[in-house]
């Protein structure tokens, strides 16, 4: 049951590290979800960037996405760090990690449906929730 608890969380953590790294290294990270972002903006990025007033906007967006990617990596590292066997032996710590990853997964999915419903990240959200449920199930059978 320890592995059934920690492996889904490890997958969540590694996924977040990979996503965060991708947002940090891609030259135009807003294009990773181009269709949903343009749908939300109600215009194309070409149109958005064409005006003189918005000529510095790509640099600003890159800066925001870099910080976002960094925070996503850090969250992934926390999840991995708190999913280790020595730590999950403590039932209270398991409950905290389940609570935090649950809030993260469910609220992110709700926001995605509300703000960017055509995003492929919605599928990732459902995968995170499935992994979270597996960890909840395993936690039920682990000793307190």
Tell me the pLDDT tens digit for each residue of 50-60.
Answer: 989 999 999 99
Tell me the pLDDT tens digit for each residue of 10-22.
Answer: 999 999 999 999 9
Task: Check pLDDT > 70 for residue 142.
Answer: yes
Q: What gap in Å lies between CA 81 and CA 59, rounded to an integer? A: 33
Average pLDDT over residues 23-46: 93
Tell me the pLDDT tens digit for each residue of 48-101.
Answer: 999 899 999 999 999 999 999 999 999 999 999 999 888 888 889 999 999 999
Mean pLDDT of the chain: 93
Q: What is residue 144's predicted lDDT score, i.e. its pLDDT?
A: 59
Long-range contacts of 79-87 (CB under 8 A, 24+ apart): 79/9, 79/10, 79/12, 79/13, 79/16, 80/9, 80/10, 80/13, 80/14, 80/17, 82/9, 83/5, 83/6, 83/9, 83/10, 83/13, 84/6, 85/2, 85/6
Q: What is residue 89's predicted lDDT score, i.e. its pLDDT?
A: 87
Strand ranges, E, within the chain: none
Average pLDDT over residues 111-122: 91
Q: What is residue 88's predicted lDDT score, i.e. its pLDDT?
A: 87
pTM, two decimal places: 0.88
């Amino acid at each position: 049951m320890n592995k059934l608890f920690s492996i889904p969380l490890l997958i969540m953590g590694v996924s977040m590290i990979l996503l965060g790294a991708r947002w940090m290294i891609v030259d135009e990270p807003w294009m990773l979800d181009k269709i949903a972002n343009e749908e939300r903006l109600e215009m194309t990025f070409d149109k958005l960037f064409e005006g003189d007033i918005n000529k510095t906007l790509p640099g600003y967006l890159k800066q925001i996405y870099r910080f976002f990617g960094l925070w996503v990596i850090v969250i992934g590292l926390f999840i991995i760090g708190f999913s280790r066997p020595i730590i999950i032996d403590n039932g209270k710590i398991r409950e905290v990690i389940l609570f935090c990853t649950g809030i993260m997964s469910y609220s992110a999915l709700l926001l995605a449906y509300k703000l960017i419903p055509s995003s492929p990240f919605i599928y990732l959200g459902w995968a995170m929730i499935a992994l979270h449920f597996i960890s909840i199930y395993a936690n039920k059978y682990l000793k307190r």
